[in-house]
Structure 1
Amino acid sequence: MDTPPEDLAALVKHIKETYDVSDSEIARRIDVHVSTVNKWVNHKRAGGRGPHPDKLRRLAEAFPKFTVEQVFAAAGRKVPGPLGPDAETRLLALFAELTSEQQETFEIQMRAVAEHNHQS
C-alpha cells in the first residue's frame, strides 16, 4: 500500500481485503473485543481521543503489510517515540529528583502533550 487510507475505517477495510479477514479475526489477532474493531469501522473521527497507541501498534504488527506509520496516520495520530528500559530508568531517576510540585507540573504538561497527540 503506497499511501495511507484517509481514516482508520478505510485502513481496516484495506486490512480485511488484503488479508481476507473479518472484524472478529482482526480483534482476535490484536487481542481486543470485536466491538472495538467495529467502532473503528463505523466511527467517523470527530475530535475524540481515538484508539490507544498499543492497539495501533498491535494492528501494525499483526498485519505487517501496513506500517506503524500508516496505521497511526490513518487513526489521525502521531507515532509515539520508542522508550526503552534504559531511557525509562533515566527519566524516572530525573523525575524522582524533582519536588512534588515540580513532578505535578511535569505530569500536567506531559498529559497535555499526550492529549494533543491523540487529537492531532
Structure 2
Amino acid sequence: MDSPERTEDLAQLLARLKDTYGVNESEIARRIGVAPATVNAWVHRRRGAGGRGVKRESLQALAVAFPKFTAAEIFLAAGRESPGPLSPDSEARILELYRGMTEDQRRLIEAQMRAVADLNRTGQ
C-alpha cells in the first residue's frame, strides 16, 4: 500500500498552525501538555527532527487541541504513520485468536505488542 507523500515537515506544519490559530509556541505547549522548550525544539528542528522522536501522544494531542489539523495530516508531517481505527470486527477476530493461545503464547504476544506500542509512542 502506498503512503501519501509528505509535503511538509513538523516544523512547517507548526508554522502553519501558529498562523492559523494565532498562537505562539508556549500556547501550543500549554494546550498539549508539553514544555515550551519541547515545542521550540520541534519548530527549530533541534529535537524530533522532521517529527521522529516526537511522542505519539503529543501528535495526537495536537490534533485534539487544534482540530483544523487532522491527526493524519500531523502524523504525515511528522513522518509517522497514524494509528488507524480498530473496527469491532477486527477486535473480535484478534480476541478470538488470543483466546486460542496458551498462556506462554499470550505472554510472548503481549511482550511483542508492548514493544511495538512503545515504538509507536516514541517514533524511534
How many angstroms does 1:48 deviate by? Answer: 8.3
Q: Structure 1 111/82 Cα, relative in aligned 2: closer, same or farther at 3 Å?
A: same
Q: Structure 1 116/80 Cα, relative in aligned 2: closer, same or farther at 3 Å?
A: closer
Preserved CA contact (<8 Å) 1:4 1:11: no
User: After alignment, is 92-101 or 7-16 more displaced?
Assistant: 92-101
Q: Which structure 2 segments of 5+ residues have no match?
A: none
Q: Which structure 1 segments of 5+ residues have no match?
A: none
Counterparts of 1:39 and 1:92 in 2: how far apart (Å)? 41
User: After alignment, is 22-31 or 91-100 more displaced?
Assistant: 91-100
- 1:82 aligned onto 2:85: yes
**Corresponding residue of 2:104:** 101
Counterparts of 2:50 and 2:108 in 1: how far apart (Å)? 26
**Corresponding residue of 2:18:** 16
Aligned length: 117
How many angstroms does 1:59 deviate by? Answer: 0.5
Q: Aligned-pair RMSD on alpha carbons? A: 3.5
Query: TM-score, normalised to structure 2's length?
Result: 0.68
Partner amino acid, structure 2, of 1:106: I
- The percentage of counterpart residues that share the same residue type is 52
Residue-by-residue CA offset, 1:60-105 (whole Å, 9 max, x unaligned): 1211221111001111111113369xx88x9689757754422332
